């Protein structure tokens, strides 16, 4: 065996081994010997593992039910005076309910570890030695019941991720030689054509080649509204085709789809420990041996105090102190404390994934609670990275809508991005155009309704000696607002006359302003824009989004320096960028967030946090989730320690019983689990 890794959050065991020396049978024996069930994944059909039996799947539930029934029978027999029969029933309850506990205790001792199974075994064995069969049976039943409920609660978060992966359908309808065949997604090669009918889920990532439809992409992006997709657009495995038939060409294999990568990275993130979790683990490793030593000291030293301490001497005094030490042993089980943090972290990561936010580990949820500055890149982050018409100023006899239609008719025949923005700004059919000519770097012209019209840059218009009409002033005003200007000329005079000026700008994202407002409402006082664009363009976007601090004309290395300055001045920094161009600054920030990562495997794998869609509302939602997660963790740790302190004191003075200690420990463990699972609910938005 080369390596073995157990992810307790997801219940996965991964083994890397040399095929010449297959260790799987031995690994299975070890797992089963420790009292755990094990089965092969559906995708791993070559494991050679036997099918999982009904008994293996339900062993815990059966043993808990049987031991509880025997406990009740023992109580009834003792109540009717059949003490011997009652003791026998309680002994059987201990044996049946503790069968897994004993086995796991042996494994822990072999690993030189004092876990809860070892401590419970000592406590129950001691209770039986003292003749407290009923109490020992009660302890083991409560402990087994608590363990079963804990396992079921934690399994809920495992199901959340399992359900995400199960969204990808088991069959794909692929076109081969003009015939549609249904095959497994794993049998579809990259580049093949797949037909997806209305009401079906997309089996593999791909790009649409035929048809249009609306797709429910909420499993990937968290966006509840369907997104319209047509030829050339990407669609993702697991998304639902809601309306029209489409044909896609696959871009990824079954194991390399976006949803498969998300599941793999989330499972990895759930296995990583946040700093607060590592602290709790270290505390538990120190705390448990100390309490065990204290219990031994209590059992040995208590009887020496004799009647002075308890008023009881002789055998009864010794018995009383041993009982107190056993109670202290039970209390020393750090069940609630150990489970308090991982359940909250796993639930937080799972909730974020359902919201279309991919968090790479619990450490980033913890850091999110301490963020003081949020910095945004401009192009592609606050803006959509595509130009749109922002202003149309008529300077001649034609109204502004007529100026725009004339310009759009000509620009529709150009491939320039600015031309596409002008053409897209007009709804409905455009006027006919002939004799279209395009001069690279200068503009495009054509005859529209008998009038020769050209759309050129401001510099080209000046070179042509375009007639006056306030063009220079208008151009200056629009450029001062950060707009790129296009001049519309009519060539029915010499020099040509100016019909109007069109201002084009990068489109600001629809929810950018509300995202910034949400950050301020959540307590983030410093929201900054870092951009390589001009001060005018940056100022325009800042005004539209509500950002008050802008740093413009920054090179990539300048952005890194800006992040370091912001951290030194205000505290922890979260930077939102496109995941590729801003890589150095994203790496420098305390948390780097990549935008629109669903279409970029690079962004998914390199960012600390990835917003799968293009909705900036995910940023304040992620920070709110981080703060909420840390509140839950603090509540859980505080409650766990408080209960321990109270019951340790009660055990020392003889006011706590064994079953009370187990009930309190199991109860607080279930309470902190339930508190952690609350994070699976949607974080309230301010």
Residues noted as catalytic = 377
Beta strands in 59-187 (DSSP E): 172-176, 179-183
Cα of 259 vs its chain's centroid, Å: 12
- Torsions phi, psi of 332, nearest 5? -70, -15
In the numeric block, which tokens belong to residue 174? Answer: 């692929």
CA distances from 162 to 171, 259, 266, 326, 333 (A): 18, 11, 11, 41, 31
User: Residues 241-259, buried b or exposed e (16+ Cβ, 10 A)?
Assistant: beebebbbebbbbbeebbb
Are the C-beta atoms of 649 and 333 separated by less than 8 Å?
no
C-beta neighbour count of 170 within 10 angstroms: 11
Q: Between 658-677 and 618-652, two packed helices, what is the crossing angle to 10 degrees? A: 170
Rounded Cα–Cα distance for residues 404 and 351 (Å): 47
In the numeric block, which tokens belong to residue 656? Answer: 């706590």
In the numeric block, which tokens belong to residue 473? Answer: 């002033």
Segment (H or E) for 594: strand 591-594
CA 633, 637, 639, 640 torsion-angle sign: positive
In the numeric block, which tokens belong to residue 670? Answer: 């279930």
Cα of 375 vs its chain's centroid, Å: 21
Rounded Cα–Cα distance for residues 663 and 660 (Å): 5
Rounded Cα–Cα distance for residues 293 and 588 (Å): 46
DSSP type of residue 379? I
Nearest Cα to 292, choosing from 155, 485, 123?
123
- The sheet with strand 240-241 has its strands ordered as 227-229, 213-216, 240-241
Rounded Cα–Cα distance for residues 486 and 529 (Å): 27
C-beta neighbour count of 73 within 10 angstroms: 17
Cα of 512 vs its chain's centroid, Å: 21
Q: How far apart, in Å, do the first and last CA atoms of the chain sit?
A: 52
Residues 6+ apart with CB under 8 A from 105: 115, 117, 118, 120, 121
Are the C-beta atoms of 28 and 51 separated by less than 8 Å?
no
Cα of 320 vs its chain's centroid, Å: 51
């Amino acid at each position: 065996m080369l390596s073995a890794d157990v992810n307790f959050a997801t219940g996965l065991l991964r083994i890397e081994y040399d095929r010449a020396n297959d260790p799987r049978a031995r690994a299975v024996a070890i797992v089963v010997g420790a009292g755990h069930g094990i089965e092969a994944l559906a995708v791993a059909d070559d494991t050679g593992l036997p099918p999982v039996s009904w008994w293996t799947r339900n062993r815990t539930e059966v043993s808990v039910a049987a031991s509880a029934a025997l406990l009740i029978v023992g109580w009834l027999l003792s109540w009717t005076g059949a003490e011997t029969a009652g003791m026998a029933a309680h002994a059987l309850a201990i044996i049946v309910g503790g069968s897994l506990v004993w086995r796991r205790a042996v494994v822990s001792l072999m690993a030189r570890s004092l876990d809860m199974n070892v401590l419970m075994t000592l406590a129950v064995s001691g209770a039986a030695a003292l003749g407290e069969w009923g109490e020992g049976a009660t302890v083991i039943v409560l402990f087994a019941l608590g363990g079963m409920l804990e396992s079921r609660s934690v399994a809920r978060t495992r199901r959340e991720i399992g359900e995400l992966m199960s969204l990808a359908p088991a069959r794909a309808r692929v076109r081969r030689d003009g015939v549609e065949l249904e095959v497994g997604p794993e049998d579809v090669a990259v580049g093949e054509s797949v037909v997806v009918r209305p009401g079906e889920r997309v089996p593999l990532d791909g790009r649409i080649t035929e048809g249009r439809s609306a797709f429910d992409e909420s499993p990937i992006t968290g966006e509840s509204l369907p997104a319209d997709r047509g030829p050339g657009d990407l669609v993702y495995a697991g998304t639902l085709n809601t309306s029209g038939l489409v044909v896609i060409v696959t871009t990824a294999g079954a194991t390399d789809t976006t949803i498969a990568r998300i599941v793999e990275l989330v499972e990895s993130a759930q296995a990583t420990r946040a700093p607060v979790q590592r602290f709790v683990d270290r505390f538990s490793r120190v705390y448990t041996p100390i309490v065990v030593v204290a219990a031994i000291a209590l059992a040995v030293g208590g009887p020496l105090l004799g009647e002075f301490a308890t008023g009881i001497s002789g055998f009864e005094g010794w018995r009383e102190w041993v009982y107190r030490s056993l109670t202290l042993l039970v209390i020393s089980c750090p069940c609630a404390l150990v489970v308090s943090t991982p359940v909250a972290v796993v639930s937080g990561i799972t909730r974020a994934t359902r919201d279309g936010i991919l968090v790479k580990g619990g450490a980033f949820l913890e850091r999110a609670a301490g963020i003081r500055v949020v910095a945004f890149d401009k192009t592609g982050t606050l803006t959509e990275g595509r130009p749109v018409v922002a202003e149309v100023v008529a300077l001649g006899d034609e109204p502004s809508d007529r100026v725009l239609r004339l310009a759009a008719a000509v620009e529709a025949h150009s491939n320039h991005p600015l031309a596409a923005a002008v053409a897209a700004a007009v709804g409905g059919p455009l006027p006919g155009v002939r004799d279209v000519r395009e001069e690279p770097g200068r503009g495009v012209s054509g005859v529209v309704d008998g009038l020769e019209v050209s759309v050129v840059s401001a510099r080209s218009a000046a070179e042509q000696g375009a007639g006056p009409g306030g063009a220079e002033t208008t151009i200056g005003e629009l450029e001062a607002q950060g707009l790129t200007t296009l001049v519309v000329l009519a060539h029915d005079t010499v020099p040509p006359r100016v019909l109007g000026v069109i201002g084009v700008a990068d489109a600001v994202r629809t929810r950018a302003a509300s995202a910034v407002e949400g950050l301020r409402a959540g307590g983030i006082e410093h929201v900054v824009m870092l951009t390589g664009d001009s001060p005018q363009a940056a100022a325009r976007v800042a005004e539209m989004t509500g950002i008050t601090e802008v740093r413009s004309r920054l090179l990539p290395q300048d952005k890194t320096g800006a992040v370091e300055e912001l951290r030194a001045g205000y505290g922890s920094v979260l930077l939102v960028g496109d995941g590729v161009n801003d890589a150095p600054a994203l790496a420098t920030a305390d948390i780097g967030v990549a935008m629109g990562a669903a279409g970029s495997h690079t962004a998914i794998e390199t960012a600390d946090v990835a917003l799968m869609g293009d909705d900036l509302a995910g940023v304040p939602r992620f920070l709110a989730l981080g703060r909420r997660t840390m509140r839950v963790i603090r509540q859980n740790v505080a409650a766990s320690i408080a209960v321990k302190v109270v019951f340790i004191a009660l055990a020392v003075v003889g006011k706590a019983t064994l079953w009370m200690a187990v009930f309190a420990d199991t109860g607080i463990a279930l309470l902190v689990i339930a508190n952690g699972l609350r994070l699976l609910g949607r974080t309230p938005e301010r």
